[in-house]
Amino acid sequence: ATLSGFALGEPEAPLKLEQRRLLLSRVVQQRDWAEVAALSGLSGRAQVIDALRTALRALLLHYAPADIREQALPLLETGRPKP
CB 82 within 8 A of CB 74: yes
- In angstroms, how far is CA 37 from the centroid of its own chain? 14
pLDDT tens by residue, 34-75 = 999 999 999 999 999 999 999 999 999 988 899 999 988 888
pTM exceeds 0.85: no
Say what the pLDDT of residue 82 is.
Answer: 63
State the burial class of residue 8 (Cβ atoms within 10 Å of its Cβ: 0-12, 13-18, 19+).
exposed
Say what the pLDDT of residue 41 is.
Answer: 95
